[in-house]
Amino acid sequence: MLALFSLLAGAALALVLRPSVSPDQSRYLAMAVVAAIDSSFGGLRAHLEQTFSDRLFVLAFVSNAAVAVLLVWIGDQLSADLATAVAVVFGVRIFQNVAAVRRHVFGG
CA distances from 91 to 20, 41, 43, 76, 108 (A): 26, 11, 16, 20, 23
Helices and strands of the chain, counted as H and E runs:
4, 0
Q: Does 100 bind another protein (CB under 8 A)?
A: yes
CB of 59 or CB of 74, closer to another protein? 59
- Compute how many residues bind another protein; rule: CB under 8 A: 62
Least Å from the CB of residue 98 to another protein: 7
Q: Does 53 bind another protein (CB under 8 A)?
A: yes
> Which of 66, 74, 80, 88 forms a contact with another protein (CB under 8 A)?
88
Closest CA to 105 of 22, 63, 62, 49: 49
Q: 72: buried, middle or exposed (CB in 10 Å: 19+, 13-18, 0-12)?
A: buried
Site for another protein, rule CB under 8 A: 2-15, 18-21, 23, 26-27, 29-34, 36-37, 39-40, 42-43, 45-46, 49-58, 60-62, 84, 87-88, 90-100
